[in-house]
Amino acid sequence: MCCGALGAWAQIPVAVDAELARAKVPRDAVALLVLDAQNPTATPRLNHRAGVPMQSASVIKLATTFAALELLGPTFTWSTPVYVDGTVRAGVLRGNVYIQGQGDPKLVLERLWLLLHRLQGFGIHSIQGDIVLDRAAFAVDAGDPGAFDGEPLRPYNASPDALLINYKSVLIGFTPDPQRAVAHVQLDPPLWGVQTQDTVPLISGSCGDYRGALKATLTDPTRIRFAGAYPADCGEKVWPVAYADPASYAPRAVQGLWLSMGGQLSGEVRYGQVPAALVAGAPTLELRSPPLAEIVRDINKFSNNVMAQQLFLTLGRESAGTPASLGTARTVMERWWQSRVSTTEPLQLDNGSGLSRQEFISARALGQLLQTAYRSPLMPELMASLPISGVDGTLKRAKVANPGSAHLKTGSLNGVSAIAGYVHGSSGKRYVLVALANHPNAHAARAAFDALVDWAAQDTEGN
């Protein structure tokens, strides 16, 4: 068994220490903790630099999602109300349609189609007016999507939005047609005013770097172009890309989809606010999100940053009202942390997703959080949301001796690697495991973390 003072190098399991050395990650750049999940007073099996605050990347989502399960409840849903202001005759609305965003993290293409389809169900097929998009529920600065890491076209850099549609991303589909020696190109959603070619040439050879082979130009908001070709061996693929002009994404997506569904629009799709007189009454229709327990699974299994930020802001909105800000969300989280987890272990949050250099937590604080969650009636919802080691989510490719023995949240940034969650021991005991690495070679520490999971699971041999 392992326990003791911070920095006690001899206590790191031999296999873990060897992998750290192979990765050229020094012992003083990592924090490791293995605890009994049920007994907060039990001596830790392993305690190495557990009290040092460190960057934890997406592992911080554990705090955001568990707080949300407790404060909002697993059945909480988001509403997107739609208000029709005008008269409808013979399929024509003379007036405006207002769509009010309230923070739904999963207003994806299929659900936007359903919302517009339900609007048509009210007999509205032509709008002699505007479609107005209200996103006043959140007070956030969209900022520069490339500011964090210089990758503005990566979907994980999408900023939160009260009316977040399809994560502000375009799905570019490629379908090979060998008879015509082309691959058909399709954009989803169809963005109004954005052009692309219908096909690209098909070439032989292995799939490899098909994105590079396409030689795509994705920075023009009005045209997506491909100067290259598509390898036939790739089969059908979908390439998700963050749209080059995120500020215009929602109006383009709504108008493009409305027109593709046979709808007509004499005005424009624009941003604005629902008139107070309409808000005072009942909406014409409203679209409800999946329940929070399902949203939390999406956030943790696949480490969705913008969904986590939507949830973080929702905590502020549900507590302080509209508009929600990162500041109000931090206040809610700090209050919850001190009442439910610890009054002595600090938690430094920025946006609640881990996509930040301003979020810090110690392994010990994460251990306390996970022990608190394990004793909670909501433990099954949180654990079910975590990737299963060697089986699914961000841990599908984990190289562990016994796939399925651990439920762990992962985190990764340049210079940061982390895992935290639960390991099922051979003895039948459940352990909390936390591993954090802050070092230029942190990405190479994954093998050491896998070794730590194996060591924690094999608890019947006196290790």
Q: What is the pLDDT of residues 293-351, one digit of tens each?
A: 999 999 999 999 999 999 999 999 998 888 999 999 999 999 999 999 999 999 999 99
Q: What confidence score (pLDDT) does residue 369 get?
A: 98
Cβ atoms of 388 and 396 within 8 Å: the answer is no
Residue 46 sits in the same domain as residue 108: no
Residue 205 sits in the same domain as residue 216: yes
Residue 452: domain span? 9-75+292-457
* DSSP β-bridge partners for residue 423: 406, 431
Dihedral angle of Cα 172, 77, 352, 56, to the nearest 10 degrees: -80
> From the CB of residue 172, how many other CB atoms can be counted at a distance below 10 Å?
21
Q: What confidence score (pLDDT) does residue 10 get?
A: 43
Cβ atoms of 215 and 231 within 8 Å: the answer is no
CATH number for the domain spanning 184: value is 3.50.80.20
Cβ atoms of 222 and 194 within 8 Å: the answer is yes
Q: How many domains does the chain have?
A: 2
Max Cα distance, the chain (Å): 80
Q: Write down the pTM of the prediction.
A: 0.94
Q: What confidence score (pLDDT) does residue 147 get?
A: 79
Q: What confidence score (pLDDT) does residue 461 get?
A: 53
Residue 271 sits in the same domain as residue 315: no
DSSP symbol at 212: H
Q: Which of 249, 270, 289 lies at the terminal end of a domain, its last residue?
A: 289
Residue 104 sits in the same domain as residue 183: yes
Residue 296 sits in the same domain as residue 430: yes
Q: Does 4 fall in a domain?
A: no
Q: Which of 260, 289, 318 lies at the terminal end of a domain, its last residue?
A: 289
Considering only CA atoms, which of 422, 460, 457, 456 is closest in space to residue 2?
456
CATH number for the domain spanning 348: value is 3.40.710.10
Q: What confidence score (pLDDT) does residue 148 get?
A: 82
User: Per-residue DSSP letters for 400-460?
Assistant: -SSTTSEEEEEEEETTEEEEEEEEE-TTS-EEEEEEEEESTTGGGGHHHHHHHHHHHH--S
Residue 329 sits in the same domain as residue 432: yes
Q: Does 314 fall in a domain?
A: yes
Q: Does 2 fall in a domain?
A: no
Q: Does 1 fall in a domain?
A: no
Residue 158 sits in the same domain as residue 57: no
Q: Which of 289, 309, 324 lies at the terminal end of a domain, its last residue?
A: 289
Residues whose CB is less than 8 angstroms from the CB of residue 406 and which lie 6 or more positions away in sequence, other chains included: 388, 389, 395, 400, 421, 422, 423, 424, 433, 453, 456, 457
Q: What confidence score (pLDDT) does residue 205 get?
A: 86
Q: What confidence score (pLDDT) does residue 237 get?
A: 97
3-state percent helix, strand, coil for the chain, nearest multiple of 5: 35, 25, 40
Residue 338 sits in the same domain as residue 391: yes
Residue 18 sits in the same domain as residue 129: no
Query: If you average pLDDT over every residue of the chain, what do you get?
Result: 95
* Main-chain phi, psi angles of 267, to 5 degrees: -95, -135
Considering only CA atoms, which of 91, 46, 53, 98 is closest in space to residue 267?
98
Residues of the chain whose pLDDT is less than 50? Answer: 1-10, 462
CA-to-CA distance for 401 and 408, rounded, in angstroms? 15
Cβ atoms of 58 and 306 within 8 Å: the answer is no
